């Protein structure tokens, strides 16, 4: 496990970028731009949400606030009502669900709204990771799985 409570696993589209009244920016993700967003180098956060979801509405302002403080990170949002095919492909069963990728490697996937301090701490942990070490650990796990499989 690379990030606390996370699970390991194997160009920002300007058309999807939106800014709210506070000037923060997130990327609205659809089937059309999903691959472009998640295959970016660097850190990508994905908030899986729906308009009717109370916890999603509570988490949204926190997510937007952190997005405004960290412009070097891509903050994506997937509306599960509009993007049911994507939500199904990623087996999203609870919302909000937050996923974090770094250099195309999924490092964290967990349902539930996080408080601001926890989200900031999670980002700090992801930034501190040695990605070469993470890739080596993934390769070792894949090798063991192939030998046992």
For the question of residue 53 being annotated catalytic, the response is yes
**Secondary structure (DSSP) of 4-26:** TT--------GGGEEE-TT--EE
Angle at 22 between CA 25 and CA 57, to 5 degrees: 75
Q: Which of 29, 37, 56, 95 is catalytic?
A: 56
- Helical segments of the chain, H only: 34-38, 54-69, 84-89, 116-128, 131-148
For the question of residue 4 being annotated catalytic, the response is no
Overall residue count recorded for the chain in this entry: 149
| Bridge-based pairing state of the strands 105-111 and 97-102 | antiparallel
Q: Which of 53, 66, 101, 107 is catalytic?
A: 53
Q: What is the C-alpha separation between 12 and 26, in angstroms, rounded? A: 9
Instruction: Return the exposure string of 64-79: e unless at least 16 CB atoms fall within 10 Å of the residue's CB, then b.
Output: bebbbebeebbbbbbb
Residues with a known catalytic role: 53, 56
């Amino acid at each position: 496990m690379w990030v606390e409570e996370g699970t390991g696993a194997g160009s920002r589209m300007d058309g999807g970028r939106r800014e709210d009244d506070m000037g923060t920016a997130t990327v609205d993700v659809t089937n059309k731009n999903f691959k472009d967003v998640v295959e970016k180098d660097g850190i990508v956060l994905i908030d899986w949400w729906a308009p009717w979801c109370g916890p999603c509405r509570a988490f949204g302002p926190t997510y937007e606030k952190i997005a405004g403080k960290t412009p070097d990170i891509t903050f994506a949002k997937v509306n599960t009502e509009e993007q049911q095919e994507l939500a199904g492909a990623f087996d999203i069963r609870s919302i909000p669900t937050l996923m974090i990728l770094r250099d195309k490697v999924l490092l964290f996937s967990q349902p539930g709204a996080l408080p601001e301090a926890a989200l900031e701490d999670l980002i700090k942990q992801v930034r501190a990771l040695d990605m070469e070490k993470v890739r080596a650990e993934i390769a070792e796990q894949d090798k063991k799985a192939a030998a046992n499989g």
